[in-house]
């Protein structure tokens, strides 16, 4: 029964941490977009492209790092 409770704890903790990290990324991007807009004179369409590129790049990077950790990480 103890093993099951540890599994449930991980099951509930993982989405909480994911939401926390996603919120942190969103706040970081919203703080940086003003500086990017001033420096590169971005239109609203280009702002959306920059933000979506950052988010998609993060997903691809996380997926690739998962592959690397499976291949070269702890065994």
pLDDT tens by residue, 8-67? 887 888 888 887 777 777 777 778 888 888 899 989 899 888 888 877 877 787 777 777
CA angle at residue 52 from 49 to 57, to 5 degrees?
A: 120
CB 29 within 8 A of CB 51: yes
Could you tell me the two tokens for 17?
Answer: 């941490």
CA distance 37 to 13: 36
pTM (predicted TM-score): 0.52
The DSSP output letter for 56 is H
């Amino acid at each position: 029964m103890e093993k099951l409770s540890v599994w449930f704890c991980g099951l509930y903790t993982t989405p909480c941490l994911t939401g926390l990290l996603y919120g942190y990324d969103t706040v970081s991007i919203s703080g940086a977009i003003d500086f990017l807009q001033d420096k590169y004179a971005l239109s609203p369409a280009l702002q959306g492209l920059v933000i979506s590129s950052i988010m998609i790049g993060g997903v691809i990077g996380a997926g690739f790092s998962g592959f690397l950790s499976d291949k070269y990480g702890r065994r």
